[in-house]
């Protein structure tokens, strides 16, 4: 079959092509993951369905209190969004430390979650916001909670014929993102983490959601750590308990970027930092957006 490349001229056209080519079809948007795999000869022959030119998939807007982001929106659009800066700093900060300006100019939100890398930088913020993925197919669309979207390394809950058209979430200004890579620029995350906190008047955390990447086959919610923090003040002793608890939430491996032990130590320290940052108790936090 070789490789074929077809450019869709609308979302309905893309869905028709996806249905026609079924398992042989592969959506391509920014190409920053797929072109690397093609170059390394790690991509089976397929029909690329190119959605890069679809303006209808490029937007960030607010609808009924939800932030809605089209799947074709680039990371550079995210890092320049005043809406995200004000209402969803965790995602804004993730976009700012993503790759470099060239890659951010092409890389898209749909491609970042569609690639389903455990270290995808947009995943922890979307999980911490308890976001949803809008999935379209020729005969309709469905809403999928982001926590059900990732099913394994490089695997998603998408069926053949389906396209991500949007991610949406209820934003929270009390949210933050922290990433550790092997260097400051162009680094794939060794661990990345986001927190979204609902603070009560008395300073207790009414609710808290923490999501962490590169420490398991998929990005995960740190439910045990969240349970330690919920209903309590972000005081040192409380955070120390959550730092212990996050060890139960994660299952890191040793790979070319870091050892399991290093990831465990980094994850608990980053959890401390990201929770304080989300609560606006920033300890020498040089992170973007705050």
Ligand X SMILES: Cc1cc2nc3c(=O)[nH]c(=O)nc-3n(C[C@H](O)[C@H](O)[C@H](O)COP(=O)(O)OP(=O)(O)OC[C@H]3O[C@@H](n4cnc5c(N)ncnc54)[C@H](O)[C@@H]3O)c2cc1C
* Long-range pairs of 44-49 with CB within 8 A, sequence gap ≥ 24: 45/1, 45/2, 45/3, 46/1, 46/3, 46/4, 47/1, 47/3, 47/4, 47/5, 47/6, 47/17, 47/21, 48/3, 48/4, 48/5, 48/6, 49/6, 49/8, 49/14, 49/17, 49/18, 49/21, 49/25
In this chain, which stretch among 84-92, 157-165, 237-245, 249-257 interacts with ligand X, using CB under 6 A?
157-165
One of 143, 186, 200, 253 touching ligand X (CB under 6 A): 186
User: For residues 94 and 243, which CB has a smaller minimum distance to ligand X in the complex?
Assistant: 94
For the CB of residue 94, give the shortest distance to ligand X in the complex, in Å.
8
For the CB of residue 132, give the shortest distance to ligand X in the complex, in Å.
14
Q: In which order are the strands placed within the sheet that holds 220-221?
A: 175-180, 191-199, 205-213, 220-221
Under the criterion CB under 6 A, does residue 224 sit at the interface with ligand X?
A: no
Under the criterion CB under 6 A, does residue 281 sit at the interface with ligand X?
A: no
Sign (positive or negative) of CA dihedral 35, 41, 43, 45 = positive
For the CB of residue 214, give the shortest distance to ligand X in the complex, in Å.
10
Under the criterion CB under 6 A, does residue 73 sit at the interface with ligand X?
A: no
Distance CA(149)–CA(147), nearest Å, equals 6
Under the criterion CB under 6 A, does residue 98 sit at the interface with ligand X?
A: yes
Under the criterion CB under 6 A, does residue 71 sit at the interface with ligand X?
A: yes
Sign (positive or negative) of CA dihedral 163, 158, 214, 204 = positive
Under the criterion CB under 6 A, does residue 114 sit at the interface with ligand X?
A: yes
In this chain, which stretch among 1-9, 29-37, 241-249, 264-272 interacts with ligand X, using CB under 6 A?
29-37
Distance CA(151)–CA(149), nearest Å, equals 6
One of 81, 108, 132, 218 touching ligand X (CB under 6 A): 108
Gyration radius of the chain over CA positions: 19
In this chain, which stretch among 26-34, 137-145, 243-251, 259-267 interacts with ligand X, using CB under 6 A?
26-34
One of 60, 95, 146, 164 touching ligand X (CB under 6 A): 164
**Size of residue set near ligand X by CB under 6 A:** 29
In this chain, which stretch among 61-69, 106-114, 198-206, 227-235 interacts with ligand X, using CB under 6 A?
106-114
Task: State the residues that interact with ligand X by CB under 6 A.
Answer: 26-34, 36, 71, 98-99, 103, 106-108, 110-112, 114-115, 120-121, 158, 163-164, 186, 188
């Amino acid at each position: 079959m070789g490789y074929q490349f077809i450019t869709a001229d609308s979302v309905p056209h893309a869905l028709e092509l996806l249905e026609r080519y079924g398992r042989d079809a592969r959506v391509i948007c920014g190409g920053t993951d797929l072109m690397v795999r093609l170059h390394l000869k790690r991509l089976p022959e397929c029909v690329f369905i190119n959605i890069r030119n679809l303006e209808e998939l490029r937007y960030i807007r607010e609808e009924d209190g939800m932030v809605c982001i089209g799947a074709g929106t680039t990371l550079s659009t995210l890092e320049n969004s005043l809406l995200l800066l004000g209402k969803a700093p965790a995602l804004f900060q993730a976009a700012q430390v993503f790759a470099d300006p060239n890659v951010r100019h092409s890389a898209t939100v749909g491609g970042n979650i569609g690639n389903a890398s455990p270290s995808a930088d947009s995943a922890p913020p979307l999980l911490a916001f308890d976001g949803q993925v809008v999935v379209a197919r020729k005969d309709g669309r469905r809403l999928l909670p982001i926590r059900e979207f990732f099913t394994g390394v490089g695997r998603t809950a998408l069926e053949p014929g389906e396209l991500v058209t949007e991610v949406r979430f209820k934003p929270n200004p009390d949210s933050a993102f922290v990433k550790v890579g092997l260097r400051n620029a162009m680094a794939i995350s060794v661990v990345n983490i986001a927190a979204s906190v609902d603070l009560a008047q008395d300073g207790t955390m009414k609710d808290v959601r923490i999501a962490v990447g590169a420490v398991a086959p998929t990005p995960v919610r740190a439910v045990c750590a969240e349970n330690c923090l919920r209903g309590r003040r972000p005081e040192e002793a409380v955070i120390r308990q959550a730092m212990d608890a996050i060890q139960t939430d994660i299952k890191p491996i040793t790979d070319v970027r870091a050892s399991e032990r290093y990831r465990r130590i980094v994850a608990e320290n980053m959890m401390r930092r990201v929770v304080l940052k989300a609560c606006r108790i920033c300890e020498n936090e040089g992170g973007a957006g705050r």
